[in-house]
Every structure is written in structure tokens, then in C-alpha cells.
Structure 1
Amino acid sequence: QRIASRAHPLFRLVLSGCAIIVRGQPRGGPPPERQINLSNIRAGAMARRAAQSQPDAKDTPDEPWAFQAREFLRKKLIGKEVCFNVEIKTALGREYGMVYLGRDTTGENLAESLVNEGLATVRREGIRGNNPDQVRLCEMEDQSKASRKGMWSEGGGAHTIRDMKYVIENPRHFVDAMHQKPVNAIIEHVRDGSVVRALLLPDHYLVTIMLSGVKCPSFKREPDGLETPEAYAAEAKFFTESRLLQRDVQIIMESCPNQIILGTIMHPNGNITELLLKEGFARCVDWSMAVYTGGAEQLRAAEKSAKERRVRIWKDYVAPTANIDLKDRQFVAKVMQVINADAIVVKMNSGENKTVHLSSIRPPRIEGEVTPACRFRPLYDIPYMFEAREFMRKKLIGKKVNVTVDYIRAATGAGETTPAFSERTCATVSIGGINIAEALVSKGLATIIRYRQDDDQRSSHYDELLAAEARAIKNGKGLHSKKEVPIHRVADISGETQKAKQFLPFLQRAGRSEAVVEYVFSGSRLKLYMPKETCLITFLLAGIDCPRGSRNTPGGVQTADPFSNDALVFTRDLVLQREVSALGGSVSSLSSRRSSQALCVLVLWSTRRSVWANYEEKPVEEVVQMKEEKERVANYKAAYVTEISDSMHFYAQDVETGAQLESLMETMRAEIAAQPPVEGSYAPRRGDFCIATFADGEWYRARLEKVESPSKVHVFYIDYGNREVVSAVRLAAMPPAFSTRVLPAQATEYTFAFIQVPQDDDIRAEVVDSLVRDIQNTQCLLNVEYAGATCPHVSLQFGDTKDDVGLGLVKEGMVMVDVRKEKHLAKMVNEYLTGQESAKSARLNIWRYGDFRADDADEFGYRR
């Protein structure tokens, strides 16, 4: 059947040197396609892989010059329009005709070009004299033979047969060897918008490449063998085909999980991965985005553009924050409480408290079930829960943070295995440019929630969170560590009267104790966590009586006093989860600034319009003003210095309890001598209290600070302040009769007030040597001057001469003065500065070059 047909479609694909596929111009979707076989010529057959369903079938190699003929046509036709005449259509539907480059028959005749280059033979059977095209092809073939072109050259063309490789023995090794190196390739087939078959050059590997970081709608194969396209699957495939099919590209192979090669295809006109996202033909996928060479933020930005324009697969997209007012999406607020490792309470500018959950992270969790019989305390019993809470508390409490709401998680009802959750505001919280969720994850104190691919309710910095978690896993941080999990043995004596009475004398002897306010029951009743003593206590503020809230009594619910809630809110906002100091049974310092007396006054004045609303002030002749500044209290007590550390901190024992310690040591050693512990029976664990044999062969009480191996256990002798690395065979369990509950640890850590610790190692070592000679193992007089971050700062006097040890170091020019601004310390500071001036004048030690300049201070390890 001869057909007079002419068209000028777009080239799509070259099947071989004598067959091409063309498609029409697109009209709102993928256009129809036609296969055109070139009339009167034949080119070699291309290599073909054997059917996988036939085990005995073999691969078919290229015929000589077949690939060269295909490449000749491909390079001529790629991206071009063609014109063709269909001359014959067989009963099976195959169409034969002449194909020309361009929009009419005046263009280059492809069949003639192939024959002229010796890349195809002419079908001479049945030559008809009235067919000038066939006659002309025969003449051109004779000329090509005479010129020995192509297949007519010497050698028969065996060198033109490719060594095709359809299987890679070790694909992961292959990808690793090619990692980040662009490889030249030809895209041979497009399965869907994000999966292609590529021919890698020059080695002729035929591999399947999946685009990293994205996924397009695909074609689902039904049981009957038919393929059902998902929405926009055909359009996505056409989008990729029209830009990449049989194009020369470069491929960056990025990963090979589960035998799938992930990569990025680079074309001179752009990156197909980002184009698919931008046009709404693909969505980001988390599992492969991390390996994308261009960075996940590029893909997210492209996807975001499509979402905002609601194109194609995003036509029904609704942003997670679409129903949130603009002013509520991003705001600055003050952190009032850390509820958990993923939740905080913030105070808005309006004064309202709001609970905010950190987006896309999950706090540490306990594995297995918790039986009701055990007294389970999540904060202390779940591994790393306490560390995560403390990290959040120290970073955020009382500070202003930037909150960007990412989504609102709807309320859920309780299921058979899941609890009910109320509506949650999930946001990214940052302070000083640091994303708190990312910081938590990078330290291994939280994990990332994995979402369904179509779930857009996630953090706006989700990729950074995934990268942070990958780093934490690689470095073995926190939850990902293979070391023993930290154990927090916290004694809760807040509800036990007898234990509280036993603990009170120790608290009074200790003087000032550092604590964290864990809970506020009322305006004057608190629960404190005391890190050094590892216990929880109930604490009442001395000297004040706040209105009481409602409470259950045997006779029923007792009504709350007026303004009790105001007092509760005031104290909670002021001290909840702040670091405070407890002194003699009362809170003496709130946030290291206010005394118990100050809190009392603040409570009274804050409720002037409440509990004193009806108070009629009587006229008085004068008003007694509170003293703004307290006087320095010189209450020196005898202390025995037992250890001096390299950081110029020192440990001292209270002389008053020295006799108790000696008695306890004697009794303990006698009992151990009578019933020696079995050597090697004790299994050391970090944080445990135990007994250890020192170099003198005697037993001492100790705490385990680190367990590297059975032969390397780091111990701290709690009654003397020195440290040692010992073997586990030198350790034994501490008898209960000699525990810290019977007699608290006697070595207390201190540092010197009013002097700066030299940063230079040599200068600091010289000062430490001097202190060891002068005060170690001697009795001194000690007075606490002010609190410090880790231990109290004290002034120390020699026991015999009453000379100030720190002032002596200043006068000898060994240290510089730390100038304190408190007025009640001014007299002491001036005395120290006078001593410093005398050392300068005499040019002693660090002052030997005269007065410091900024660079001098750096040289000697000091900074003004």
C-alpha cells in the first residue's frame, strides 16, 4: 500500500540506523508517536539483552557498524524537526518512507546520507526502473564501496562491535570508584520521570539510574500485565524524555543503596532533577536527598516554588501554616519552662503562656514497658532524658527565642497502644542563630521523626536535622553511643519526713548549696534538685507566708486563699528551672541575684494591689528604707586543705567534722579487715560510690567518674579530693554503714576569690607549685566571699599568721586581680589592687616587663 503522507514532527528516538520514532507537537500533553522505517536501505541490528524470563537465552551482540549508524542518525536528528513521506504501510502496520531534515523535502535525505557514509546497504531486490530514489541509492552505494567507507573498509568492522555490559558485579564498589566524577553517557530509555537507562561511555555499561532526592509519579503494573499511570506520570515521563532521551549527558553517580544507583544527570541546558521539582512533576524524597550533590536546600527551594504556584501534582496543596495568622507564624517570646526535650513553655508579648513543641524531633524514649509497680521517673530513668532537659534548660530558660511555626499537629484520640494527644504547635526555635532542635540532635539527645512521603507537616529545616543526626550517629554521640548509658540515682526525700529531718543538718552545715528549682507548689513552697547531693527536697521560703491554693483535705476540698494563684505565678515565673542557692533552710539567691529577703519584699510589693488591696496605711513620721547593699560577712572557719588541682581549685575538709571522718575510717577498715571483699567481685559502673585501696594500702571512700576498661577505672576520693586511675580489683562495694548518707563527702571544692586563674600553663603550674608548698595538708581559715559557676569563691588565711593566701600571691606578682563590682566587696578588692600595684612597681614575676598592654596580657595567658 503506497501512501502519499507528509508531516514535520519532532524527532524522538533512533532505534537503529534505519528506524526512528517521531512524535507530533505537544497539545496539552504527550503527543502521539510513530515509527518510521527508512525505505530501500538496511543498517546493522543493535545489540539486545536476552530476556530475563528465559534462562537459556543469550545476549545478541551488535552487528558490525550498527552502533555507528545509530550514532550517525542520533547526532543529526537530536532535538530537530523532520519531514517524512510514508510510502508503504504493511499489513502488520509497519510504515516505510523517506525522512528529511527540516520542514520540507528539500532538507537532507537521511537514507542517502547513511549509504554515502557506508553505514547502510541498499535493498537491491526488486529494483524498479521507475523508482529514481532507489536507483540513486544504488549509485551512492557503489561510490561508497569504491571509496572504502564505513562497512566497505578493510577488516570487516569487527572493531565496531561494542562489548556491552548489562550487569555490574559489585555496583557499590563501582559507584564509589566513580563518586563525584562526571561520567559521559547517553540516555537510552526513560522508564518514568525520575528513572532512566543510561549507556555509560566509553565502557558501554548499560545501567539504571534513579535521580537522587526526587520521585516522579510512576506506572503501576497490574496483575494482568497492563500498566496504570498515576496522576501526571505520563506528563512527567514526557517532560524527561523530551529533554534527555538519547541526549549526550554527564551523570554524577552518588550512592548505591540496595543495588539501585542514585545519581544526578547534568545537561548543558540545566539540571533535570531541579526542573522536575520546579514544574510540579516530582516531589522530594528524604531517604535519597542526603546524597544529592547540589545540596538538599536546592531541591527544597524548587519544590517550594511548585507548591506556592500549585502546579500539577501540587494543584490541591494547602500549606501547613495556611490557616495560621501571619503574626502567629513567627514571633519572639521568653522561655519560661522546659517541659521535655521537645517541648517548652514561652511567654508571649501579650503575657500569655504558650506551649511550643520542637518540629520533627523525638525525645529519648524507654525501650519496653514500664510496670506500674516500679517507681518510674522519666526524667531520671530514661537514658539521656535528663541530659537533654538540662541542655535545653541551660540554653533557654529566661531567654528570648525566635519561634517559627512549621505546622499545627491536630489532636488525636487514644488508641489501643497509643495515648491521646491534644493539638500541638510545632515550630523551629532558635536563639542566637542556632536551631535548638538541630543542636539537640547533633549531640545525640534526640532523634528525627520519619514521615510518610506525602506528609508535609515537618520542620522547615528537616534536611539540616537529618544531617545532624547522621553526624551524631557517625561520631557515636548520646543515644547513638555504644558506651554505657548514664545513670542518675536521685533520692526523692520531698515526701518523706524522716529522711528530710536526717538531711536538714547536713544542708545547714554545708552553708550555701547549689540547686535547680524543679517545681513550684505555691508562692513559697518549692521542690529543689540538688545536683551535688543528687536528691530532691521540698523547700519553704523563710520569713514569708504566701496565700495558700486550693487543696484536698479529709474534710473535702479547701478553698484557695485570695491571690494565691498570683503568688504562685509570680514565684514560678521568677525561679522555675532556674539555678538557685539554698542556705540554712531558705532560698538565699534566686537566679544568682536576689536574696530570700529580696524575694519576700518582691512578693509583698507585687501583691500590694492584691492581698493588701484593702490595707489602710497609717501615717508615720519616717520610712525605714531597706539597705540596698549587704555588708561583707567575715565568718572564717577552720578547714584542712587536702588537694590542689592544676586549675588552682582546691579541696578542703571541715575541721569540725574531722573526728567523725577519722572514726568512720577506723571502723570501716576494721570491718573490711575482718571480712575482706572478694577480689574482682565488684563490677564498676560510672557514678557509683564504692571503696578503693590507695597507694598506702588503706581503703577510702570513692566515686567512679569513668570506666574505660577493667584495668582503667577513674576514681575520685570523696573525702580528700584527689583522683586516681586504678584497676577494678582495687575496688569493692561501699558498706551501707559507711555511705554518704551516714557521713556526707568531706572534701569540698573551692577556688580563690578576687584573683584571675592564669591561662598560660607554665605560669599556672608555677602558682600551683607555690600553693602546694604553702597550704596543702595544712589547716587554714576559710571564708566564702561569693558564689561561682562550679564552686564557691573563698578567701583563705594561713592558720598561724592569719595572712591572706590569695593576697600574698598578688603581692608576689604571680597572679592578677579579678575586680569584683559588688559594693560590699569593695574594701577587699581595693586591698588586692593595692597589692597588685606594689608588685607592678617592684616588677615582680609577671610584671617584670612593666605594666601590661593587651598583647602582653595574651602572652602571659591573661585577658583584661
Structure 2
Amino acid sequence: MVLSGCAIIVRGQPRGGPPPERQINLSNVRAGALARRAAQSQPDVKDTPDEPWAFQAREFLRKKMIGKEVCFTVEVKTLQGREYGMVYLGKVSIGWDLFDFSVSHELVKPYIPEQVRLCDLEDQAKAAKRGQWSEGGGAHTIRDLKYSIENPRHFVDSLHQKPVNAIIEHVRDGSVVRALLLPDYYLVTVMLSGVKCPTFKREADGSETPEPFAAEAKFFTESRLLQRDVQIILESCPNQIILGTILHPNGNITELLLKEGFARCVDWSMAVYTQGAEKLRAAERSAKERKVRMWKDYVAPTANLDQKDRQFVAKVMQVVNADAIVVKLNSGEYKTIHLSSIRPPRIEGENKDKDKRFRPLYDIPYMFEAREFLRKKLIGKKVNVMVDYIRAATAGAETGPVPAFPERTCATVTIGGINIAEALISKGLATVIRYRQDDDQRSSHYDELLAAEARAIKNGKGLHSKKEVPIHRVADISGETQKAKQFLPFLQRAGRSEAVVEYVFSGSRLKLYMPKETCLITFLLAGIECPRGSRNIPGGIAEPFSEEAMLFTKELVLQREVEVEVESMDKAGNFIGWLHIEGVNLSVALVENSLSKVHFTAERSAYCKTLQSAEETARQRKDKIWANYVEKPPAELAQVSEEKERVANYRAVYVTEITDGLHFYAQDVETGENLENLMETMRAELASHPPVEGAFSAHRGDHCIAKFADGEWYRARVEKVESPAKVHVFYIDYGNREIVSSVRLATLPPSFSTRTLPSQATEYAFAFIQVPQDEDARADAVDCVVRDIQNTQCLLNVEYPGATCPLVTLQFSDSKDDVGLGLVKEGLVMVETRKEKHLQKMVTEYLNGQESAKSARLNIWRYGDFRADDAEEFGYSR
């Protein structure tokens, strides 16, 4: 550093750290003093201006010597420690020879008159009236030095980010310097945009303690920039701090500091960096990979992953929400991927409507738009996935050891070179997560995400719009029988309607969103009989290939745009029909892939021949559900088709409960002894170790034990919890329901769970009959059934499956009379006709019984034959 025209600071070569400094004053000469700013603690003291020609003298030596290797000799050392001597630049003396040169350029004057040679040079300068000997005294050489800027933000904006010539006068630390802006002589403090170096912490006693690598970073910047001619791009001025980038002919100091591990990127000032934020990230990444200096202990977020797990190509199968997708890997495995560093739309505070069921997809503003954007862009497409970090599982305060959030794989997902997260943010459909400065678990394209968010805010897109938020009034009529009935004619008349598959329950059961009608419906595939999953079968054992059928349907149609033809509706309010996707009939596809069989109802459809042909092809392959298929001889097939009869395989059951809807619960007599043994053992154990009263916390779906009115404990399942005093329970071995206080409940011992013995009460309904919807008529039928069969042993035969339970015929164990047929003959119910050929004999018998009740005008037939409006009044179909 050149302090003035007659003083310099030198230091040796660095060895293991910044070398010590030494000030050398040139012997026998004196230059003018440079301007000094008064101490802020002394407001009465004024600033000291330059002496004439002082700055020019300093500049002459600065340009001549800065950064050069010199030799020096010390001639005089004062008591105060000041050293005076001769300095040589190469073979040129910066003492006499340089002084001689300096005097001839009117920059310095001799201090000791005895030096004849110097006096001669001074006399020549005086005679020629050069330099400080010129007329006027050199007032024009005094700088108008400006230590502060009245409006720094306006000053920075006025430069339009154009490079400004400057001299670096002081280096505070590696990333903060004091610069003299030319030609107007503004002395400003500049902080490097986008980075931060370790600093020196000022202690209470006034001393400074350097952070690790602070001294090295400062030396790195000083040795390259101090008193160098540079250009500075002034980029921003937040909170009176001027941010800029310093450009030297040999490079950009910001990038060099990062590359050598002397600095880290900072998000808050990265946005204003004009030279390309990706260059800074790349420089920092290089230092991290080499583990230099600040990053010596750095461990990358994906260090434990193999290369194939860090970056791969996968097919998008589902959009979970606005920041998560499910992809299928080449191995066939499914994996959930979260988009790095973005936050989906959310409701701030308690803004949920407590009067209705909260549905995030439709009730959170812009959540539906975000999901739709991803769905249309990604579903069924192959994407590039680059894993940025793995977010560890976190435990919530109330959940104990159970993770509140499971482990999440966070990645940058691109398709066709487009970063999906960036596209989502640029449309205002998500926001960027802000991190702590030392948190490296973030997107590898974090700066692009911030820039995209800034554009979205500026343009008022999506979440940043000041317009009224979009509202999606979507009616969910799944299971709403009355609403579904009203809606059915519209769908039937519409022919093929557009829909989006929102959820797949099983291979043939789906939830659809109808965009034109803005409603959600449950849709069952027509014409096929698909293997049922565990949730749809009493006992919870899934049929073979039910899981494969569901995965097949998911992969083909989940969240895809499809067309549906609605033909009818079942009793539970589920629509039945055909689903097409890109010309493929899903029912036919399932049959072709041996994942479903043709149902007899397909005979009435236009797709019957196609389904039968597909089933025949699948049978011949003997794959999946047809793996054990044995083809019957043609003669036997003909005989079966001609003489097929209903199979009567009655088994003994004990009827335990009759419901108001004319369903009943029954226990198999075969397993009755097992139930008795279990109950006896359980009660003995509870008697020896009574449960603690009130210790059980009831939650919907929990299995427990409940104390019945007889004072005994029974196995039960919690169906609803209104309050601790009102808990709805279902007795799983008997079929009855009760509302009890939680003090009458206790934990079910594991040795008596449903794994030891499944629930013994199975729900059934009567086949071939229609249950009256008129309350009085239905009550008469229920009373009759209760009187005849409750708590008695009967014989049961399953005739055909129903929407919620099997439909059966029931016989009295002694007389073998049909209970359902007796209800028909008593005129308490009407007959439900069936189309199956093998059931026609039973249907005919029931219809004959109905005719006899009509003739006798019993109960519902007491007014004679029904008219159409009478039938509807009593709750029967026309």
C-alpha cells in the first residue's frame, strides 16, 4: 500500500498465513498530506482536505509500485519506531533515482537542504514553475472528497449498473471494501453482492476476534485489490448498504473468493448479482467438492446415495399435491418425489370452514390450479429426476416417536429441459421456501426459483394476485343415493362425458371428477367381475390378483382425462358404466390382461362380443386368474349351459341381530364353539386382571372390549366418538350396536384380537325381495322377521353378491320353509326380479308367492294391485 508520496507499506511472501506488514518512509523527502476525515466522536473537529499535489504524489507511487517486488534498506529508525530508508524497484532506486524523477515531475520536495543533487532538481522545477512551484499554488489539485452520499439508493439507480472506475482504498474483510469512485471522488463502502466472508467480531474491550479464515480471506482480497485500479458495478442499495461487484482485469474477486473457499453464497443479496448467480453457485459447489478451507468438513446432502439414485429417469404416475408426485422407476418400483425448496398453496391461520368437511384440493386457494398444472404437464410422461437432498423424518410434539413427517426425497424434476418447480412458481402456484444461511438442503436451482418468484410477484400471478381468489364448488355425491338419482338421467342422456380419474379404489371401482358438472362420483366398471380387495370382503382377505388389477387400472387411468358412458346406478348411489381412455375400453383391457372375468350383465351391452372374445383369449393363455383354468369338453359345456341350475349349499347359522333395514347378522354354527371358548378365557383373564376404568381413549376404527348391559365384556369396534360419554360401538361377534360411555370400554387384549378369531357376526340381506322404504311397511316386515328368526338357528345359502353384503335365502332349520318367500306370501315385501338364468326357478317361485298375496290382499296388497304412483309411495321402483 502507498500511504502517501513518501511512505509505503510492504510485506513479505505468505507462509502459512498472512505475512507481517512494515511501513517504510522514503529518506530525505516529504510529500503533501492526504485528506483525513474527522473522527465521528469529535463533531467539533472538521475534515482535513488534501494538501496541493498530495494526491498526485500518492498516485505516482501507487501506479509505479503497487503489487511489485521491491528491496529496501533502513537508514534511520526513530525513537517512535518510524523507519526511513531507500527503496529499490528492480534495479531502479525509488530513493534518489525515483526522487530525482519525482522532483522533475513536480510531485515532492526535498526535506534536507544539504542534499545538493536534490536541491538542484528542486531549483530546476522552481525555475520552470512546474508542479507545486507553479502559479496559483496548486489549488486545482485538491480533491473534492465526498465521504457520504445524500441519497445512496438514487445514486446507485442513476448509474444504471454501468461499470464505474474506482480505486480500492481499504479492505475491511474479504467481502467488504472502501472504494474511491472516479472521477467524482466519492469514498463509499461496498459489500460484494451474493457472498459473505468470515468477519472480525469486535469484543467489549474494543479488540477484534477473527472468525475462522477471516484473516486469510481479508489477505486474499487485499493482495489482489488493495489500491488497484478496478471497475465496480453498483447493483443495489438496501438499507443504505451499497452492494456491488468488483471487476479486475485478472478476474472477478467474488467468484474467486467462493472458488477458494473463503466465502459462502448468501440468498438475500444473490438476487441483485448481475454477472449470473449460477456462476457463484458453481464456484461454491467447486469449493465444497474439493473441501477447501471453510468447507473442509462439508458433507454433501446426497453423499450417501449412489449415482443411479441421485439422477434417474422415471414415469410420473400420480400428482399427490402441488409439491409431490409419485413416479415409477425402471425397476417397477414406485417412489414419491417432493419438489425441492417449494411450498404449495396453503391456508394461513384458522380459516377452515368448520361447518363442512375440509377438502384441501378444492378449499385451499390455487391448490386445484397447481395440481391441474402438474397433472396436465406430467401424468404419464417421463421426467428427469435429480435428487437434491433427503429430508429426514421429523417427530411431532404430540405424536411421540411416530414421525409427524416421514422421510422425503426432494429433487429437481425436469421435462423437456423445463424445471417443473420453476414453472409452477412463475405462475404463482407455489412459493419458495426460505432457509437458514447454513442450510444446504435446498434445490440445486434455488436462485432460478427465487427469480421466478420475483417475476410472479411483479406480474401479480396466482397467489400474488390482488384479484379475488378462485372458488371451486365441487359437489361430492359419492354414496349420496338421493343426489345420485337426480343426477343419473343427465349422465345417461349425455352419452360419453368427459371426466378425470381422481382415485382408484380397486380394479373396477373409481372416483371421477366431472368437470362440466363440477361433481365427484363413484364409478363402477360395467360388464366385468374384478377380483375384490380385502376392504370389500368380510374377513378382510383379498381375492387373488386384486392388487394387480388395481395397479393396472391406476397405471392406465389414474389422473388421466377419460370418457365415461353411464348406464345405471346401484343401490348405494354408485354409477355403473363404461370407461374409455384414448380409444381403450378399461373393462375390455382388464379382461384382456387376465385381471377380470366377464359378468353376465355384459350380455345386454354393445361390448358383449368384444368382452367375450377377450376373455376367451385370456383363458387360452392361462395367465393370472386363469392360471388354474381347466377347459371342459364341448359335450359337458353344452350340458351345463342347457341344464345349469341354482346350487343350494345351505349351512347352519345362528341369527343374532335384525337391523331396521331388514338386514341381519348371523354366526356360523361351526365356529360357535371357538367363540364360546374365547369369550370364556377372555372373561377369566379380565376377572383376574381388571382393566383400569377410563384408561382407554376411543378412536374411530379401534377394536376394544365393551361392557354390555348384562355386565359382561364383549369384543367391539368403535364406529363414532361424539364425546367421552357418547361412544358408538359395534359388537363384532353379535352384530348389535350401542352408545356407551368410555368408562365402559377397555383395550382388547392382543391374545383375543381378530387375528386369533375373526369377527363372528356377518351381515346378510334377503335375496329376491325389495325392502319397503315406507317406514310402517318396513317396520311390519322387520317385526315379523324378528319374531320368527332372531336368536334362532337357521339354514343359509348365498345366492348372489350385493352392494354391501351377500344376498341369501334363509330356511327354518326344522320345517325348511324359506323365510324370504314367507315374507312375500304374507304380503310384507315385493319381489325383486333377477335376470340370471340359473335363478329363474327361484324368481318364479317368489313371483307365484307374490301373486297369491295379491289375490288374498294381504298387507301391502290390501288395496288391490299397485299402480305406479302407489309403488313409489311405498318406496318401490316402478
Do Structure 1 and Structure 2 share a fold, with TM-score over 0.5?
A: yes
Partner of 2:394 in structure 1? 412
Give ranges in structure 1 of 5+ residues lacking alignment. Answer: 1-12, 624-864
My pick for the range that moved more, 529-538 or 52-61, is 52-61
Answer yes or no: is the 8 Å Cα contact 2:13–2:19 preserved in 1: yes
- CA deviations 1:292-339 (Å, max 9, x no partner) are 222112222222222222211122222222211111111111111000
Q: Does 1:91 align with 2:105?
A: no
Identity percentage over the alignment? 80
Give the drift of 1:241: 0.8
Q: Which residue of the other structure, out of 39, 60, 64, is the alignment partner of 1:72?
A: 60
Change (3 A) 1:103 1:455: farther
Structure 1 SS opposite 2:405: coil
Letter in 1 for 2:14: P
Structure 2 equivalent of residue 590 of structure 1: 580
Over 3 Å counting, the alpha-carbon distance change for 1:413 and 1:442 in structure 2 is same
d(CA) in 2 for partners of 1:120, 1:622? 126
1:116 is displaced (CA, Å) by: 4.0
Q: 2:70 aligns with which of 52, 74, 82?
A: 82
Query: What's the CA shift string for 1:519-546, capped at 9, x where partnerless?
Result: 1111211111111111111111112222
1:565 partner letter: E
Structure-1 residue corresponding to 2:315: 334
Given the alignment, which residue of 137, 147, 152 partners 1:166? 147
Q: What residue is the counterpart of 1:575 in the other structure?
A: 557
Structure 2 distance, partners of 1:361, 1:620, is 65
User: 1:803-828 deviations in whole A, cap 9, x for unaligned?
Assistant: xxxxxxxxxxxxxxxxxxxxxxxxxx
**Residue 345 of structure 1: SS of its match in structure 2?**
strand
Aligned residue type for 1:252: I
Residue 166 of structure 1 aligns to a residue whose secondary structure is coil
Please give the alpha-carbon distance, in whole angstroms, between the structure 2 residues aligned to 1:417 and 1:243.
56
- Partners of 1:40 and 1:600 lie apart in 2 by 103
* Counterpart residue number, 1:300: 281
Q: 1:600 to 1:185 in 2, by over 3 A?
A: closer
> 1:275-303 deviations in whole A, cap 9, x for unaligned?
21222212222222232222112222222
Matched ranges for 1:263-662 at <5 A: 263-369=244-350, 374-415=356-397, 420-551=404-535, 558-584=540-566, 585-602=575-592, 604-605=594-595, 609-620=623-634
CA contact (8 A) 1:586 1:596 kept: no
- 2:17 and 2:146 map into 1 onto residues whose CA distance is 35
In the superposition, relative to structure 1, how do residues 57 and 139 fare at CA in structure 2: closer, same or farther (>3 Å)? same
**Which residue of the partner structure matches residue 179 of structure 2?**
198
Alignment partners' CA distance in 2, 1:453 and 1:579: 43
Q: Rate the CA distance shift 1:230–1:374 in 2: closer, same or farther, 3 A.
A: farther
1:808 is matched with: none
| Residues 81 and 103 in structure 1, CA contact (< 8 A), matched pair in contact too | no
Change (3 A) 1:108 1:364: farther
Which residue in the other structure is 1:157 paired with? 138
Q: Secondary structure at the match of 1:55?
A: coil
Report the Cα offset of residue 355 of structure 1.
Answer: 0.5
The answer to whether structure 1 residue 61 and structure 2 residue 49 are counterparts is yes
Give the AA of the match of 1:101. L
Name the stretch that deviates more: 20-29 or 113-122. Answer: 113-122
The CA deviation string for residues 152-177 of structure 1, in whole angstroms up to 9 with x for no partner, is 11111111111111111111111111
Q: CA deviation at 1:107?
A: 7.7
Q: Secondary structure at the match of 1:440?
A: helix
CA distances 1:340-390 after superposition (whole Å, capped 9, x unpaired): 111100111111100111111111111112566642111001110000000
**What is the number of residues matched between the two proteins?**
603
Range 378-387 or range 267-276, more displaced: 267-276
User: What is the CA-CA distance between 1:606 and the residue it aligns to?
Assistant: 7.0
**C-alpha distance in structure 2 between counterparts of 1:561 and 1:221, whole Å:** 74
The question of whether the paired residues in 2 share the 8 Å contact of 1:580 and 1:587 is answered with: no
Change in 2 beyond 3 A, CA 1:606/1:108? farther
The 2-side partners of 1:387 and 1:37 are apart by 73
Which protein shows a greater Rg? Answer: 2
Distance 1:567 1:515 in 2: 21
The 8 Å contact of residues 34 and 50 in structure 2, kept in 1 or not, is answered as yes
Distance 2:635 2:58 in 1: 112
Indicate how the Cα distance of structure 1 residues 621 and 83 shifts in structure 2: closer, same or farther if over 3 A, else same. Answer: farther
Which letter does structure 1 place at the counterpart of 2:170?
Answer: H
Q: Return the letter of the residue paired with 1:594.
A: V
Instruction: Tell me which amino acid in the other structure corresponds to 1:321.
Output: T
- Kept in 1, the 8 Å contact 2:57–2:107? The answer is yes
1:184 aligns with 2:165: yes
CA displacement at 1:123 relative to structure 2? 2.6
* Bigger Cα displacement from structure 2, 27-36 vs 215-224: 215-224
Shift, 1:482, TM fit: 0.9
Q: Residue 28 and residue 604 in structure 1: after superposition, are their counterparts in 2 closer, same or farther (change >3 A)? A: same
SS at match of 2:503: strand
Q: Where do 5+ consecutive residues of structure 2 fail to align?
A: 567-574, 598-621, 638-878
- What SS class does the counterpart of residue 618 from structure 1 fall into? coil
| Distance of aligned partners of 1:577 and 1:138 in 2 relative to their CA distance in 1, 3 Å threshold | same
SS of the equivalent of 1:355 reads: strand
Q: How far apart are the structure 1 equivalents of 2:497 and 2:635? A: 41
8 A contact 2:499–2:514 mirrored in 1: yes
Matched-pair contact (CA < 8 Å) for 2:7–2:25 = yes
User: Structure 1 residues 507, 87: CA separation in 2 closer, same or farther (over 3 Å shift)?
Assistant: same
Structure 1, 612-621 or 339-348: larger mean CA deviation: 612-621
In structure 2, the residue matched to 1:627 is none
- State the alpha-carbon separation in 2 of the partners of residues 574 and 198 from structure 1: 65
Question: Does structure 1 conserve the Cα–Cα contact (< 8 Å) formed by 2:526 and 2:578?
Answer: no
Query: For the residues of structure 1 that align with 2:58 and 2:42, how far apart are their CA atoms?
Result: 28
CA offsets 1:555-593 (integer angstroms, 9 cap, x no match): x85333333222222222221111112212445333232
Asked whether 1:27 is paired with 2:11, we answer: no
| Cα distance in 1 between the residues matched to 2:396 and 2:228 | 55
TM-score normalised to the size of structure 1? 0.67
CA 1:202–1:511: 2 relative to 1, 3 Å: same
Question: Following TM superposition, by how much is the alpha carbon of 1:151 offset from its aligned partner in structure 2, in angstroms?
Answer: 1.0
Q: Which of 339-348 and 55-64 deviates more? A: 55-64
Distance 2:262 2:53 in 1: 39
Taking the aligned partners of 2:398 and 2:29, their CA distance within structure 1 comes to 73
RMSD of aligned alpha carbons: 2.5
Query: What does residue 260 of structure 1 align with?
Result: 241
Q: Distance in 2 between matches of 1:106 and 1:535?
A: 90
Aligned to 1:242, what secondary structure does the other structure show? helix
The amino acid that maps onto 2:160 is: H
1:516–1:580 CA contact under 8 A, matched in 2: yes
CA distance in 1, matches of 2:463, 2:301: 30
In structure 2, do the counterparts of structure 1 residues 53 and 107 end up closer, same or farther at CA, with 3 Å as the change threshold?
closer
Cα distance in 2 for partners of 1:35, 1:416 equals: 66
Q: Assess if the C-alpha contact under 8 Å between 1:23 and 1:33 holds in 2.
A: yes
**Which SS does the other structure have where 2:2 is aligned?**
strand
